[in-house]
């Protein structure tokens, strides 16, 4: 596999939501490649276990841990200070921490605040705190923000989560546009859009057949980052890239054709959506 230009042994990586799932899988992949890794997470107990295991598996690299609530800017600032004190330089910041369970549009304001605080404000804090320092280093580096297909097609169920991930998409697009305008720019941004992935958030004991593992997502992400992709749209064992593209196109069509919002899930539009998929050979 071709490596991203910033992936070098001895350089540092900071990963929020790093105690499990995609974050921990990324930490394992980078440590195996010789990078020093700082795992950050709000679950201190799980974080200690993950960091200990990663350190034992890769004793030749430096593994750090930092308990953080990314919804609080001051804690992300402390994370940055700790990371730059521990590592000579930082090649990757992965804003990956996320929670679900927000609720629909007019319920549970406390849960909405928590979901937006972690999923959106946590990424905003990570971008605003780390980006200037990465630019100042003058070396190739990357910011990977973990989004979601739910932030693009907005399926009914957890509107708070959809809003948070839609915000991450827009933020990351704006970040990459701003970085692109810098003279001799060395820092790039990428939007990771996982498919159905078996992680701690799925709350299932065994991996469903349709899901990818977190390791598959990380392998795919690093391959696409090396290829220069901004949008890292991951398939899974149930949904192909072609089907994802059709669903995204239909969602955009709601606006263009002035259909009811989220028409894909409306009984009146079920046959039209099925016909649309058939036209795409799906």
Residues serving a catalytic function are 161
Q: Return d(Cα 95, Cα 124) in angstroms, integer.
A: 9
Angle made by CA atoms 216, 221, 225, in degrees to the nearest 5? 155
DSSP secondary structure string, 65-98? EEE--TTSHHHHHHHHHHHHHHSS-EEEEEE---
- Residues 147 and 192 sit within 8 Å (Cβ to Cβ): yes
- Token code pair at residue 190: 């990428």
Task: Compute how many other C-beta atoms are within 10 angstroms of the C-beta atom of residue 52.
Answer: 12
- Token code pair at residue 80: 């940055």
Find all residues with CB under 8 Å of 153, minimum gap 6, and list them: 247, 248, 251, 264
């Amino acid at each position: 596999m071709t490596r991203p230009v910033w992936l070098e042994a001895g350089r540092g990586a900071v990963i929020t939501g790093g105690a499990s799932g995609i974050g921990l899988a990324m930490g394992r992949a980078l440590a195996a490649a010789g990078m020093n890794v700082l795992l950050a997470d709000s679950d201190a107990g799980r974080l200690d276990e993950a960091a200990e295991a990663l350190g034992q598996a890769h004793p030749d690299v430096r593994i750090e841990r930092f308990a953080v609530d990314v919804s609080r800017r001051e804690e992300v600032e402390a994370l940055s200070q700790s990371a730059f004190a521990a590592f000579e330089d930082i090649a990757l910041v992965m804003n990956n921490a996320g929670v679900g369970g927000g609720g629909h549009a007019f319920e549970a304001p406390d849960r909405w605040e928590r979901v937006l605080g972690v999923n959106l404000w946590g990424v905003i804090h990570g971008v605003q705190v780390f980006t200037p320092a990465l630019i100042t280093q003058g070396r190739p580096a990357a910011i990977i923000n973990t989004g979601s297909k739910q932030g693009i097609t907005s399926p009914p169920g957890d509107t708070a989560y959809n809003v948070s991930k839609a915000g991450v998409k827009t933020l990351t697009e704006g970040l990459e546009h701003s970085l692109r305008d810098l003279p001799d720019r060395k820092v790039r941004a990428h939007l990771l859009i996982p498919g159905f992935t078996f992680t701690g958030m799925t709350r299932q004991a065994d991996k469903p057949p349709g899901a990818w593992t977190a390791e598959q997502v990380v392998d795919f992400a690093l391959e696409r980052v090396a290829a220069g992709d901004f949008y890292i749209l991951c398939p899974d064992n149930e949904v192909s890239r072609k089907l994802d593209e059709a669903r995204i196109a239909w969602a955009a069509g709601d606006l263009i054709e002035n259909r009811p919002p989220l028409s894909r899930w409306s009984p009146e539009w079920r046959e039209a959506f099925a016909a649309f998929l058939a036209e795409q050979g799906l």
